[in-house]
Amino acid sequence: MGEMAGLEVNLELLREFERGLDPQHPERSKVPARILGYGEISTVFEIQAPSLRGLACKRLPIFRTADEMARYGAVYDEYTHLLQEAGIALPPHGHAAFCDDAGRPVFYILQQELPHASLGHRAIHLLPQGQALSFARRVFEELSKVWRFNHRQSHLQIGLDGQASNWSLVGFDPQHPTCNEATPLLYIDTSTPLFRRNGVEQLDPELFLRSAPSFLAWLLRLFFLKDVVDRYYDLHRVAVDLIANLYKEQRPDLIPGWIGTANEYFAGQPELAVAPITAQEVRAYYREDATIWRLYLAMRKIDRTIHTRLLRRRYPYILPEQIRR
């Protein structure tokens, strides 16, 4: 089974890559891959083959059946259309879905690879402090488009992860880094297609738990899953998450200015009803979030060891050795 949308991609080459993939060392795979970035759950890489160069590939080996993967693909397509309907610009994108030689479903999200320096979490290390504030304001403006869309009608609600690393500044020049009120942004994190129709989540929340160690899944389901999903529908919490992530990005010096920018911006948008953000709230949020994700990664590494060394089974996920916080 295979299907493609949007970007043209060599499906047979993707199959060949999957066939020879070494999840623990992607660069040593039969068709080597270059890691572009690690998320908390998935990894983005460029496959080093002529027809796939220039594409950022996010691999999702979380599905148990082809039907389940097809349902995800339909939700993914609708989510990207809804984001664009709300006014969010996306890079050229598409996806490919197929079953590997062992019959396991694998879904690849494909995007045009963007200049590394243009990604928000990198740009904030190059922009002068005042223009880093302009970037923050631009993100708040983009987020507001989604929540205005949500307010305009009641049957569809879009969720979004607004972290700096999920935005690309169009036309960004690292030699002359600038950001102003007219700088266009692209949103790149579409792999978790969160939207609700008449209050019902369209993405199966259980998919979040597929990459979790089996001995942790019940705990995550009981205590964390609903809260983690709900946060992406709450504009106040999305803004807090964006600002708190400056600790992880090693720019805590920007936090006071970003809090001030957020509060000033949202005070001028009373229809969005976003409560003021405090420094104490941002610190507490980040401490809790960092602890959860640090523990989660450690448990996944234990699970990988159990799979590969004790059970002698293939571990399908690509894990970072360490995420700096």
Which of 19-33, 52-66, 206-220 is most confident? Answer: 52-66
Kindly report, residue by residue over 253-303, the tens digit of the pLDDT: 999 999 999 999 999 999 999 999 999 999 998 887 766 666 555 566 555
Using CA atoms, how far apart are residues 189 and 176, in angstroms rounded to an integer?
A: 26
Strands 185-187 and 195-197: unpaired
151 pLDDT above the threshold of 50: yes
CA dihedral 128, 92, 41, 97 (to 10 degrees): -170
Going along the chain from its start, the domains and CATH numbers come out as 2-112 (3.30.200)
Kindly report, residue by residue over 304-321, the tens digit of the pLDDT: 666 566 666 665 565 555
Confidence of residue 131 (pLDDT cuts 50, 70, 90): very high
Longest Cα–Cα distance of the chain, Å, equals 58
Mean per-residue pLDDT for 92-107? Answer: 91
pLDDT > 90 fraction of the chain, expressed in percent and rounded: 60
Angle (nearest 5°) at CA 237 between 229 and 220: 30
